[in-house]
Every structure is written in C-alpha cells, then in structure tokens.
A and B are shown apart, each in its own frame.
Chain A
C-alpha cells in the first residue's frame, strides 16, 4: 500500500515538474519573443545584417522549397486520382490538389523545410558564437545581441517564409498539373481553370498567414536555442537539435490551431 502510494506520488511529482518545466519554458520563449519585438521597433536598424538574413532565409531556400513542393504536388495528384477513382470522382484532382497544397501542404512542408534548413543553421551559428564568447564580445562593443543577431533573422523569417509558401503553393500546383496532364489524361486548360475557379481568397490568405507564423516560429526557435546554448561542442549540438525539434513541433501545433481558426468558424 505504502509503496503504491509512494510511487504514485513520485509519478505525480514528476508530472508536475514536467508541466512546470513546460510552463517555465513557454514563459522564457514568450519573454524572448517580446524582447525581440521591442528591439524590432527601436533603432538602430542593422541593414546589412537584415539583408544577409533575407538572402539566407529567403533566396537561398528557394531550391529546396521548389523541389519539396513539386514532388509533393505530383504525388498528391496521383493519390487523389487513385483514391477518387474508387467512387468515380477522378475529376476532382485539380480542386483537391489546389486546396491541399494551398491550405495545408504548402505552408506545412515549407515550414518544416525551413525548420530543417534555417532553424538548424541559425541555432548552430549563434550557439557557436555563444561558446566562443562572440556574444560577450558583441555586448562589450555596445551592440545588443538581440538587435544584431536575432531581429534580422526573425524579420527575415516573417517576411520571406510567406513568400516562399506562395512560391511553394504555385510550384506544388504545377507539379500536380504536370502529372495530371502528362500521365492522367487531364486537359491542360480545363485543369488550370478548375484550379483558379475553385480557390477562394481565404485559402490563399490562410496560406500566407501560416507562412508568416511558421517563419516567425522557425527563426525565433533557432535564435532562442542558439542564445541559450550550453558550453562546448556538445552545447552547440544540443542547441541545434532542440531548436529543430521545437520548431517542427510548434509549426505543426500552430498549423492545427490556425486551420481551426480559419476554416471551422
């Protein structure tokens, strides 16, 4: 009896600590986010850093986003065709590819690719700067690390990722179109008309809003874990791993919530 009670208590204690740990973590991330926002709104502005971040987060992510989208769009067309043919609804391929890419797969896959590509590199770079005392050096040179390192990257995430999502949506739809026209015998013009007619403004808006939120999450997590890195190579490794995990999970959770907000009202 007493051992049962004790193990129950130990379990509840562990659960409580985990929950408290999570709450504390949310608080720290929230504070970090507010700190970043407040620095975003105050001068000075580091133009060169922002330009570099836009280049890294946006432009250089285009190839991976394009490849992800085109293969996904193609596979989606094949799947919908195969699934649709079970109840003679093959004709819906253009509509479902469009809605699937724009509402869900475009933002989520771009978000996850950004988490893989950008979050990890931000976390590793900033963590290395931390362990080699470069962050301390910045401070002694009267430069705020949040303003100099974090703001440009988060800003780039907020600006570039929606654009990347738009590009991903278009390329994904094109991938579906190519497969449908080449392999499934769809008429090219009708496919395009069906796509364009079917999509509503809200679909596109939700896609871009998701992109913006996911971009913010991905870059913020990279910066947060990088700035909080422990010492040594192991610290950098942990920071990088943690940042990608957190970014991916938060992106999927945010996607669920945003989908709820946009489409179940």
Chain B
C-alpha cells in the first residue's frame, strides 16, 4: 500500500504540490488525472525519492519511503518515464534487461536477452527491434520499450507516466489491456498518469484528480461520471469552460 500524507513540493516559488493526500491499495490500479503541468510526474518522483518532497510523509507498506535500504526499496518498483528515458548508448534489449544484468537480479546474458524479447513482444514489438538503438525507433516505439523495461523484472509496484501518449489508438488499446493484465495477473500495484479518458476507463480501479497542488477528487472509476465535482466533469468532458482555467 502506498500512502501520501500532506506531501508538499515547491521548485523555487513554484508551489507544485501543496498538500497531497492519497492512498493506493495493494494490488489495485490507481489512475491520476489532471491538467498538464499540475505536478503529476513530480508526485510519482516523490514516491520514488527521485525528487525530495519538502514536507509530509510517504509510506510504502507502512515504511517511510525515504528511510531504510534504498536498493531493496527500489527493487520493488518499475517505472515508465513520460519521455521513455531509454539509455541511448545501449541497444533496445539491453535497455529492457538492464535490471536483469546487474545487481541482485543478475542472470546470464542469454537468459536476460530472452526475457527482454518476451517483454518486447508483450508490448507489441517484434524481436528484430531488440538489437536496434533507441534513437532509431519512433516515439511510440520508444515508449513501449520503456514500458517493457518497467515490467521486465516483474516488480510489485509499477508507475506508468502517460503510457499511451503518442501511441495510435490500437496500440493504446494493447497497452491498456497489458496494464490491466499486469495488475490482475501479477497482482501488482499500479499508479498511472494519463490524459486519455479511454485509458482511464480501461485500467483504473480508482481515479484521483490532481489540481492546484491538491487531490481535488478521488473515488472509484464507476463514480467518476457522477462525481458531482465541477473540476472532474470539466476534465473528463474536455470542456474549455469551467473552474479549471484554460490558460495555465
């Protein structure tokens, strides 16, 4: 279970997270929605300790995320970065198998490569991309390689930062199904950021809306359409008029 209590984060005088309270049950799929630049990515990075939050607490299974053995902590996570963040000096398969080739999860090179190719197949990529460099792939393909890397070591907790942005609708459907599958089959806990409402409906157990540095609304995905919250309504219907300013 992941729990954020009163988390705040400012960059200079840009107060991105003002007071974020959020709880994600073990084995459930939480989707965070919200306008671009509202701090969704920053919130994920705070949980992973990539960005140090200014105040508040972040607990993972009751343990303070910042304390204790960092390697053991991070070994439980998989993360898909918004921009892919592939290592551009390494071929695709090596990117995917990165965690499997060093540290506690190290395996023989051949085996790591086989796992990488299997994961690539799961995200809809053919084995022949395995030996290419990330720079030779399209943006959507890079995203899927990043996704394959995030799930390669079968982590307990997976964060997806805009997994379907930049993908065609069919591929987006494939990825939505995959995320759903990972949560139900592997029993993983997932936290996904997305702007894509079809994605929200396909993968979410619960939805949280981040706006103005706080969680504006959170609830089961079934309640989203009847939330009675003007912010959520504006967002899910994509209206220019409403409480959320179009210029931010």
Cross-chain contact A137 with B75 (CB below 8 angstroms): no
Choose the segment among B80-88, B170-178, B223-231, B239-247 that binds chain A (4+ C-beta atoms closer than 8 Å): B80-88
B98 at interface, CB cutoff 8 A: yes
Contact of B50 among A44, A46, A129, A140 (CB under 8 A): A140
Cross-chain contact A142 with B71 (CB below 8 angstroms): yes
Contact of A132 among B75, B77, B85 (CB under 8 A): B85
Cross-chain contact A143 with B50 (CB below 8 angstroms): no
Query: CA A44 – CA B149 in complex, angstroms?
Result: 22
Contacting residues of chain B (11-58) with chain A, CB-CB under 8 angstroms: 45, 48-50
Given A136-B45, A136-B81; A143-B103 close (CB under 8 Å): yes
B195 at interface, CB cutoff 8 A: no
B79 at interface, CB cutoff 8 A: yes
Cross-chain contact A141 with B88 (CB below 8 angstroms): no
Cross-chain contact A133 with B85 (CB below 8 angstroms): yes
A12 at interface, CB cutoff 8 A: no
Q: In the complex, how many angstroms separate the beta carbon of A64 from the nearest chain B beta carbon? A: 22
Q: In the complex, how many angstroms separate the beta carbon of B93 from the nearest chain A beta carbon? A: 15
Residues of chain B within 8 A (CB-CB) of A129 are 87
Cross-chain contact B45 with A137 (CB below 8 angstroms): no
Contact of A140 among B77, B86, B103 (CB under 8 A): B77
Interface string of A8-48 (1 = CB under 8 A from B): 00000000000000000000000000000000000010100
B201 at interface, CB cutoff 8 A: no
Cross-chain contact A137 with B87 (CB below 8 angstroms): yes
Cross-chain contact B71 with A136 (CB below 8 angstroms): no
Residues of chain B within 8 A (CB-CB) of A44 are 102-103
Given A136-B50, A137-B79; A143-B102 close (CB under 8 Å): yes
Q: How would you classify the secondary structure of chain B's contact residues: helix, strand, loop or mixed?
A: mixed
Contact of A134 among B50, B82, B85, B104 (CB under 8 A): B85
Query: CA A133 – CA B80 in complex, angstroms?
Result: 11
B74 at interface, CB cutoff 8 A: yes
B122 at interface, CB cutoff 8 A: no
Q: In the complex, how many angstroms separate the beta carbon of A35 from the nearest chain B beta carbon? A: 15
Residues of chain B within 8 A (CB-CB) of A132 are 83, 85, 88
Residues of chain A within 8 A (CB-CB) of B85 are 132-134, 136-137
Query: CA A204 – CA B50 in complex, angstroms?
Result: 46
**A133, closest chain B residue (CB):** B85
Cross-chain contact A133 with B81 (CB below 8 angstroms): yes
Query: CA A129 – CA B95 in complex, angstroms?
Result: 14
Interface string of B81-109 (1 = CB under 8 A from A): 11101111000000000110011100000
Residues of chain B within 8 A (CB-CB) of A188 are none
Query: CA A133 – CA B149 in complex, angstroms?
Result: 14
Question: Top 7 A-B pairs ranked by shortest CB distance?
Answer: A133-B85, A137-B85, A140-B79, A136-B50, A142-B74, A133-B81, A141-B99
- Residues of chain A whose beta carbon lies under 8 Å from any beta carbon of chain B: 44, 46, 129, 132-134, 136-143
